[in-house]
Structure 1
């Protein structure tokens, strides 16, 4: 059974056991502005997050959740320090277990999702997955990135000067460029 969700109707908390027993799929969109921790990463808060959750039971009768989450965010390239739009994708397979349950016998293809109660906060799960999908160091594709010209410039030396390589030579060149 497929249940579409409208922008404001996406449930915050669900009972994954009941949804898995009925093979329910939830699909919808939410504004990126709904996720405070994610928005602090300087995203365009008007972007939409596309969300799909599939709840089912596997052959061992364990509750399994398949999630697909997609959005776009504006990030600062750490090479050229310019803003760029970056797609963010998260695809994950969870197995739901009671808190403190033995997880040694579970399949390695699943992320373990321990619940202390019968309810799962989808809002927190979505935000956690998007935060984990962010790159540690956001950068453009190499062909799109415009590095600052001073980074690639060679120092101007007269014929009498000896070229010495120093890890601080780029700083001297930068200082020289600022004094011009």
Structure 2
């Protein structure tokens, strides 16, 4: 993968006709909205996208985003590196009516001024691709949070139904 950054904006009509490829690397540090969801701004997104037309002559963006970002494990509350490959399959439309006509295999993207904000699109796709609940991929890497000594153990809690037990014995 090339280390050049993809362009921030793209002239959709021109790039579609030329069937251009977008290859490059975007640092996570440059994506403010994404950084709010991560433990820090380390990492990058390797971009491999193609702009063209599908069999139905619809304008589409297809390809993959390869990312490595740092998330907070919700099991042990420790940061871990998360690597993933996110498929991209987007249909470019000019209105909501056109978006509704797209097949389910394509996510709609409304571009009404002919200019595609590519960096924003990539950031959106990465945000949508993050796990709902971040956890280490294997339990071996997860350091489960130790139980606090101030928390009472399950055996030391009094049974709230103990009084009912004594009433039950009286009836026997």
143, 147, 151: which one aligns with 1:146: 143
- CA separation in 1, counterparts of 2:154 and 2:58? 68
Task: Provide the residue aligned with 2:87 in structure 1.
Answer: 91
Superposed displacement of residue 41, structure 1: 2.3
Q: Is the contact between residue 88 and residue 130 of structure 1 (CA under 8 Å) also seen in structure 2?
A: no
Q: 1:126 aligns with which of 122, 129, 138?
A: 122
Flag structure 2 segments of 5+ consecutive residues without an equivalent. Answer: 162-172
Deviations 1:51-81 (A, max 9, x none): 0110111222211110311221112211111
* 1:164 correspondence with 2:159: yes
Aligned length: 158
Q: State the Cα distance separating 1:163 from its structure 2 match.
A: 7.0
Secondary structure of 2:38's partner? coil
Match of 1:72 in 2: 68
- The CA RMSD measured in Å over matched residues stands at 2.7
Return the TM-score normalized by structure 1: 0.75
Is 2:145 the partner of 1:117?
no
Say if 1:97 and 1:156 are closer, same or farther in 2 by CA, change over 3 A: closer
Q: TM-score, normalising length from structure 2?
A: 0.78
Q: Does 1:29 align with 2:29?
A: no
CA 1:165/1:133 → structure 2, altered by over 3 Å: closer, same or farther? Answer: farther
Tell me the distance in 1 between the aligned counterparts of 2:99 and 2:158: 61
Q: Following superposition of structure 1 onto structure 2, how do residues 38-57 of structure 1 map, counting pairs within 5 Å? A: 38-57=34-53
Q: Which stretch shows the higher mean deviation, 122-131 or 14-23? A: 14-23
